[in-house]
Amino acid sequence: MSATEAPERIGPYRLLRQLGEGGMGVVHLGLDAEGREVAVKVLHPHVATDLKARDRLTREVETMRRVRSKRVAEVVDADLTGAAPYIVTRYAPGRTLEQTVLEDGPLTDDGVIRLAVGMCEALVAIHAADVIHRDLKPANVMLVGGEPLVIDFGIAHLVNATRLTQTGMFVGTPGYLAPEIIRDTEITQAADVHALAATVFFAATGKAPFGSGTFESVCYNILEGKAQVDLAPAWLRGWLRVALAPEATSRPTAASLLRLTRSLDPSVTVFQETAHEPPRDGGTRILDGTRVLDDPARGNAGGPMNGGGSVNGANGSRTSMLPAGDDSYSDLLPPVNYVEPERPRREPRAPRQRRPVSASPPAHPQAPPYGQAGPPPPPYQPYTDQRVAGYPEPRVAPPPAPAAPYEPEPRRAPYRAPHPVLAALLLATLVALACLLPVVVSLFAVVAALCLRVGQYLLGDLADRRATRGSSGADPLLAVLGTPWALIKAGLATVVQVPLAVMFAMCVWGGFHYLGGVRPDPAAAYAAAAFVAGLFLLPGGKAPRKAVSRTLSTVIRSPGAGMIVTIAVGTVALFAIMTALSADASWVPWRPPSVAVDHIVADLKQKGQDTVVNLIGGVIGDIMDRIGLGFLTFWT
């Protein structure tokens, strides 16, 4: 079955149309016995014979049956043992996230939050089934009514299961892989968190999270944690930095990421991190990318400084009123007096020099003597280590725009040209040589046309199959098995083509001899040239022409080489034509036609068989006797 030709039915399902195609199989829209729409994924014919591919499909079915969530496409049916293995899943009428963003642009802020929440819910269900998806990306997320649906577990695997990929190999889309997959180290469920954040980044910006350069540059950016977070909306950057942490242990779990996602607010540009792991040894708690010391002996309890539950004391200080057990640690930061900061005066900067930034606040001024009024205090300027959630960032000069990612030059497609002028020059050379050596060149042209037909029937069909469904290990075997049939087809076509070319040559001979007054032997030489041309130009000569064109396009790989070969062949053709017009033909290994025809006519008169049909048969038989193939002339 061709990848572009869908069967009418497969199993109990009727296939309506093709929905998509990947490296392993084709997805069709189908109807079950009750008329409900389903998605049927069928392996490619050349993949179905691969045991590892069947194993991967079996694992996909087993994996998807373990997951129970409205955010994941469930398996309806499967047949993994038939000639065409397939699985049937619930059909989701919609577009993939990749198609939506490429066609309509990035999602709105609300759409990004809905996508992130839905994908986190799907990831929680996937991880609860002890499964790692390993291929979360925009092409594997459907948007159905604005809600995400995770599909395609083709390379997912159970936690601690035996990996099917070889050492040093990885499967997936490079731009959405976690660093540990590229390093070929232990892969945990944190890899899915990394891929989820990369997918959300694409939905919010319409760009690849780690650039769109070469494969090596993208992998380097992933390993170094160089995501283009600054291109994302400000309210989403903190969430992305947490989930895209290069180290797997620094990323939150799917459940923790879901809680962080539900607290996202486009109106708040500063991200508040919350604990996502329980305290270790009663001391250090691991936050999303931050370690905070929580020593019970010192009485440090977590509480927010700027948020609900915080009130002012009698002297203006802030007192925490949060209930016990709150897992916020913002009260470990020093208290801050909230005063509207003034815009700092910009100092002129020297070109290509950066002003050093003080690592600590300036020294406190000396207090004036008691009872004397001192100078007014300078306006408060918060430092980065004193900012908390809800406080606006100071207005500073915007950072320089990030450098555009390296865009490699697009790889040029291989040079392929049919070279019609070169093919015409080759035919002109062959026709001119037929005028000089009519018998030898005519026999060579018949054999060449036969071989070209065999090659076209074999290699042409093989190239068409490869263009449709890709290369396969069975192609050499199919070529060997198809050789006898190709020989039979080519032989039959040649048997029909040669008499047609002979009749064309006789018409040319009659025209030159009776209408043009040319002597019989030179007219016969022109007739031989017409015979050679007819093998390729008359009806039935399409297969040899296509074989010649395919050969030229394969051998000549650049325009310069094509020009050089064309000039060289054109020069040879010119000299061959000039020689054919001025020199007499050589009829070896046969006799000149006038001599041979006189002898044949005399023999036929003696036998009383001097008819046109017998004359033609006698000429052909005499030629076959001269070249050693007289045993083929069964009519004599």
Which single residue is written with the structure tokens 């997951």? Answer: 67
Greater pLDDT, 413 or 296: 413
pLDDT digits (tens, 9 = 90+) for 271-290: 555 444 443 333 333 333 33
Query: 338 pLDDT exceeds 60?
Result: no
Assign 535 a pLDDT band (cuts: 50, 70, 90): very high
Query: 590 pLDDT exceeds 90?
Result: no
Assign 612 a pLDDT band (cuts: 50, 70, 90): low
Query: 152 pLDDT exceeds 60?
Result: yes
Is the alpha carbon torsion for 159, 162, 164, 166 positive or negative? positive
CB 21 within 8 A of CB 43: no
CB 1 within 8 A of CB 84: yes
Number of Cβ within a 10 Å radius of residue 480? 10
Query: 196 pLDDT exceeds 80?
Result: yes
CB 276 within 8 A of CB 246: no
CB 381 within 8 A of CB 391: no
Greater pLDDT, 317 or 155: 155
Query: 545 pLDDT exceeds 60?
Result: yes
Q: Which helix (H) or strand (E) holds 15?
A: strand 13-21
Token pair listed for 35: 């008329």
Of 117, 113, 124, whose CA–CA distance to 253 is shortest?
124
Number of Cβ within a 10 Å radius of residue 431? 24
pLDDT digits (tens, 9 = 90+) for 353-372: 554 544 444 444 454 554 45
Assign 235 a pLDDT band (cuts: 50, 70, 90): very high
pLDDT number for residue 397: 57
Assign 466 a pLDDT band (cuts: 50, 70, 90): low
DSSP string for 104-152:
H-SPPHHHHHHHHHHHHHHHHHHHHTTEE-----GGGEEEETTEEEE--
pLDDT number for residue 118: 94
CB 152 within 8 A of CB 26: no
Cα separations in angstroms, 216 against 115, 171, 330: 30, 15, 41
CB 423 within 8 A of CB 552: yes
Min mean pLDDT across 123-127, 314-318, 511-515 is at 314-318
Average pLDDT of the chain? 74
Residue ranges of the annotated binding site for ATP are 41
Task: State phi, psi for 310 to the nearest 5 degrees.
Answer: -110, 125
Min mean pLDDT across 271-275, 443-447, 605-609 is at 271-275
pLDDT number for residue 316: 40
pLDDT number for residue 619: 76
Q: What is the set of domains in the chain, with CATH numbers?
A: 9-90 (3.30.200.20), 95-292 (1.10.510.10), 420-584 (no CATH), 589-636 (no CATH)
- Percentage above 90 pLDDT, the chain: 25
DSSP string for 587-619:
-TTS--HHHHHHHHHHHHHHHT---HHHHHHHH
pLDDT number for residue 319: 36
* Rounded Cα gap, residues 493 and 496, in angstroms: 5
Q: Give this prediction's pTM.
A: 0.43
Catalytic residue among 32, 135, 184, 265: 135
Which amino acid makes up residue 192? D
Greatest alpha-carbon pair distance for the chain in Å reads 155
Considering 358-367, 372-381, 391-400, 476-485, the range whose residues carry the highest mean pLDDT is: 476-485
Helix (H, G, I), strand (E, B) or coil at 289: coil
Greater pLDDT, 5 or 31: 31
Q: Catalytic annotation on 50?
A: no
pLDDT number for residue 358: 46
